Amino acid sequence: MTERAAVLHATWPPAATRQLGPFTLRDGAGGGKRVSAATCTGVPQVEDLAAAERQMHAAGGQTLFSVMADQAEFDRMLTDRGYLVLDPTLWLACPIDRLTAPPPEETGFTVWPPLQVQRDIWAAGRIGPERLAVMERVEAPKTSILGRGDDRPAGTAFVAIHDGTAMVHALEVRKDARRKGLAGWMMAKAAIWAAERGASEIAVLVTEANEGAIAFYRGLGMTGGRCYHYRLRP
């Protein structure tokens, strides 16, 4: 498992995994592609790939793989088998001290477990109970960030730490509170919390199609490139 893959697994884990040759098959329990897609170590033999496909089909889920940016040969195998590309995703990161300037008072709080108002904000952003269950499963140091704007709850995010990297997931701001600086203050609160627990880097995942989020994170000084994409058998 690569360093980035290890961070993703620790901070956003599936409900269960199973090894099948070079493949890790995942049960995401409805928590989305990131916790459901199978991954491969190295370049598989054709018969190993076929066995993984059969197992995923038999389990009743999608035949779905997550392919890291450095897995070009495996990716070509899936292309040759007719797999579609889904959601090319960037890893954006920066040294944590770049974001630890204190935000304005009363704009961010660390809360665990998340409050109902945070769950409601996530639900409005289509982050439902299955993804909240992913957060519950995390065994690494973790917390949620409650963002406040105009003297009321207005945003929420989840952050967990693995091997010095603080990974921020599921950052969501109410529509009427956007473009007022709150998301940046929440990232600062996440960075401060993580730095106090020994993290040296803060990172996010953003799909290449989400140009607004990419611009926001790059504006914070976060940089990076392609991390992974999915391959789906039609």
Q: For the domain that residue 109 is a member of, what is the CATH number?
A: 3.40.630.30
Q: For the chain, where are the E strands, in sequence order?
A: 16-20, 23-27, 39-40, 64-68, 84-95, 108-111, 142-149, 152-162, 165-173, 201-207, 223-232
Q: How far is CA 34 from the centre of its chain?
A: 7
State the average pLDDT over residues 110-125: 98
pTM of the model: 0.96
Asked whether residue 52 is domain-assigned, the answer is yes
One domain, residues 38 and 142:
no
Tens of pLDDT along 127-163?
999 999 999 999 999 999 999 999 999 999 999 999 9
> Mean pLDDT score of the chain, rounded to an integer?
98
Which of 89, 107, 129 is the endpoint of a domain? Answer: 89
In the prediction, which pLDDT does 101 show?
A: 97
Residue 32's identity, in one-letter code, is: G
Token pair recorded at residue 185: 């203050």
Residue range(s) defining the domain that contains residue 99: 93-225
Q: Residue 190: helix, strand or coil by DSSP?
A: helix
In the structure encoding, which two tokens stand for residue 32, read together?
């989305």
Name the nearest CA neighbour of 22 among 59, 71, 62.
71
pLDDT band at 2 (very low <50, low <70, confident <90, very high): confident
* Strand, helix or coil for residue 36: helix
Whether 137 and 47 share a structural domain: no
Q: List 67's β-bridge partners, or say none.
A: 229
Provide the Cα torsion 62, 134, 161, 68; round to 10°.
0
d(CA 62, CA 159): 28
**49 and 120 share a domain?**
no
Percent of the chain scoring above 90 in pLDDT: 99
Query: Helix axis angle, 129-137 relative to 116-124, nearest 10°?
Result: 120
Give all strands of the β-sheet with 223-232 in edge-to-edge order: 64-68, 223-232, 84-95, 201-207, 165-173, 152-162, 142-149, 108-111
**Do 84 and 175 fall into the same domain?**
no
Q: Is residue 81 located within the same domain as residue 106?
A: no
pLDDT of 61 over the 90 cut: no
For 64-98, the pLDDT digits (tens) are 999 999 999 999 999 999 999 999 999 999 999 99
79 assigned to some structural domain: yes
Instruction: Answer yes or no: is pLDDT of 198 > 90.
Output: yes
